[in-house]
Chain A
Amino acid sequence: MTTSSVLAPPPAGSSKARVGVQKFGTFVSGMVLPNIAAFIAWGLITALFIQTGWLSLFHIDPVWVQQLGGWSTDPKVVNTGLVGPIITYLLPLLIANTGGRMVYGVRGGVIAVIATMGVIVGSGIPMFLGAMIVGPGAAWIIKQVDRIWEGKIRPGFEMLVDNFSGGIVGAALAVFAFFLIAPAVTGLSNALEGVVNWLVKVHLLPLASLFVEPGKILFLNNAINHGVFTPLGLIQSQQTGKSILFLIEANPGPGVGILLAYAVFGVGLLRASAPGAILIQFVGGIHEIYFPYVLAKPILVIAAIAGGATGVLTNVLFNSGLRSPASPGSIIAVIAAAPLSSLPGVLCSVVFAAAVSFLISAAFIRGSRKRDLAAIELSGDVALSNAVAANASNKGKDSRVGDLLGTGGLSAAPAAVKVETDQPIRTIVFACDAGMGSSAMGATVVRNKLKKAGLADVTVTNQAIANLTDDVDIVITQSQLTDRAKQKAPHAQHISVDNFMASPKYDDVVAEVRASQGA
């Protein structure tokens, strides 16, 4: 049950594997990017309320702060807090849900979440990796199961059968994940921990990056940090007043280098969202945000490793470290935790790490730039190539966190689109805000084009986005409105246009309708 098996077949040709890897990357970032708001929420809560957080740093630590952070020592205080449950349950479940939806709609999302609970309780570490495997996998399985009796259920019993088959499959998958997937991910995490632990003991610290950086990308950063660096670092820090171990995972340099390279040389969504991600990662200290960017182009893990190793080596040479863990791994927290004598070394380690990872990422991103653009075209993925076009035209505008959130949905769409496109296209809807003007004009133009092309059997209508339903084949909107339309009709194919009167995309639509009807 690999996630790649649920993707649309890549175009024939020698580039199959490469396109496969790219699609896998797109799929993975599609699972993560729509949920980045939750990561930010968790980051804010963590930064404020944990025991080493900002509030307690300024001695604002009433019971409610301790409760929210989950660190009160008073036995009478109920102490689950927000920080732990969000990263343990909420974030992995959100990722699983998004992954499940991409494969099999709302139903896929529900089964994905049930099954992922099995991995989460089966393991003590945050189960992002497990969620990314089990979520889409579970959705794929329920899709296959539904096929068995598709169209064979007596009318009136569909709901009953759906609910019970979903419940039974979900329960079974949760147990299966508990016994099989959770131990596998825990094992991987333990193995990484073991290797890193050994490297620390034999004083080969820069090599630790070889394992730490890939581990981070798989969202095992907290496990490595809390399992190895924090305990060992605290001992060192007590003895010598500082420890380099606190900086191995928490150095924001490698991540910011990769994001900068995307911001400068990247294409499409990844480029457009990178500046916002930089802010969240470098200043906010939420490293998780750059992992999807590496997953989208796995070779960049080399840049992360080289950047990480550079940072560690710099600190070894300067003999610098931090007094306490920099948590979250923000540049501000890093500076705050550095003893004055270590500050030059620590700052250099961040800058050098960022520079090395930037240069290497830039080389890779530039090297594959043409291919990436071509791949976007090749995959016939109208929504994504439109997003690229829209981004190109938005170049002048600052990309903010809001853009990041807004565009996140786009990358989730391609996979969802592919599920539906084998059927002939019957309904095209133009949607705009009020359904009064723009959409009516666009609908007329396309209707006219289809008529001229001799294509019947397609209805072209216009609607207010608020009234959009999810049972249409193609939805056409102005680019600013596409995200809103996607929320209303997640299973339709979405096309954004800038020119309602004479968009070149209309000819694509006509061609697509013709192809779908001819098939």
Chain B
Amino acid sequence: MGKVLELPQINLHGTAATPAEAIDEAGRILVATGAVTAEYPRYMHDREVLVSTYMGNFLAIPHGTNEGKDTVLESALSFVRYDEPIDWGGNPVRFVVGIAGKDGGHMDVLSRIALIFSDEEQVDRLLVAETPEEVLDILGDVNA
């Protein structure tokens, strides 16, 4: 299993303007890594319909449903930052972290992201980060 988050999976200027487009954008990145099959984004949309994946602190974490588990081949993340906040069911979202989790292998990563995003100083650093390298640096040992 490769690293769950690598430079090509980070985009600091996403083009989506709506949650649905943002989920597509995240889904495309995940599919491109080969970690999920082309069907996975559909389950991400399903999950979003069920309950919003808005987490607070400008973060949304679209991911698939329980049902779509088979379309996940290995754990991977996507990280897209938006210049203009996306209206996520009434909440402003600047970061969309797409998640594909296989056998709980993504839990460590998710925990680290949770800790980083629950710390407002770190969120501010992510907001002004200028390069994907910088983001990886802040997310620190996400890949460890």
Contacts and interface: CB of A to CB of B under 8 A. Distances in A.
Same assembly: yes
Interface stretch (B8-16, B24-32, B47-55, B134-142): B47-55
A436 interface: yes
Contact of A441 (B47, B50, B66, B114): B114
Contacts of A15: none
A441 B55 contact: yes
Interface in A400-444: 432-438, 440-442, 444
Contacts of B38: none
B53 A438 contact: yes
B101 A501 contact: no
Contacts of B55: 438, 441, 499-501
B53 A444 contact: no
A445 interface: yes
A440 B56 CA distance: 14
A432 B50 CA distance: 11
A499 to B, nearest CB: 3
A436 B56 contact: no
Contacts, number: 75
Nearest to A484: B51
A436 B115 contact: no
Contacts of B99: 436-437
Contact of B115 (A444, A478, A500): A444
Contact of A501 (B50, B57, B63, B107): B57
A501 B118 contact: yes
B111 interface: yes
Contacts of B117: 441, 501
A442 B51 CA distance: 15
B51 A433 contact: yes
B51 A440 contact: no
A441 B108 CA distance: 10
Interface in B88-109: 99, 101, 106-107
A498 B52 CA distance: 10
Given A498-B56, A499-B55, A501-B55, A440 B118 contact: no
A500 B51 CA distance: 13
A119 to B, nearest CB: 42
B36 interface: no
Contact of A440 (B53, B111, B120): B111
A444 B107 CA distance: 10
A437 B111 CA distance: 9
B66 A444 contact: no
Contacts of A478: 51-52
B47 A440 contact: no
Contacts of A448: 115, 118
Nearest to B98: A437
Contacts of A503: 56
The CB with the most chain A CB atoms within 10 A, among B55, B59, B99, B117, is that of B55
Given A436-B99, A502-B56, A442 B114 contact: yes
B75 to A, nearest CB: 11
Contacts of A500: 55-56, 114
Contacts of A207: none
Contact of A436 (B66, B114, B118, B120): B66
A480 interface: yes
Contacts of A442: 114
Nearest to A477: B51
Contacts of A433: 47, 50-51, 65-66
A437 B101 contact: yes
A437 B110 contact: yes
Closest 3 A/B residue pairs (Cβ) = A499-B56, A441-B114, A501-B56
Given A437-B110, A445-B118, A501-B55, 16 more contacts: A433-B47, A433-B65, A434-B47, A435-B66, A436-B99, A437-B53, A437-B61, A440-B107, A441-B55, A441-B111, A444-B110, A444-B115, A464-B66, A500-B56, A501-B56, A502-B56
10 contacts: A433-B65, A434-B47, A434-B63, A437-B63, A437-B101, A437-B110, A440-B110, A441-B55, A502-B56, A503-B56
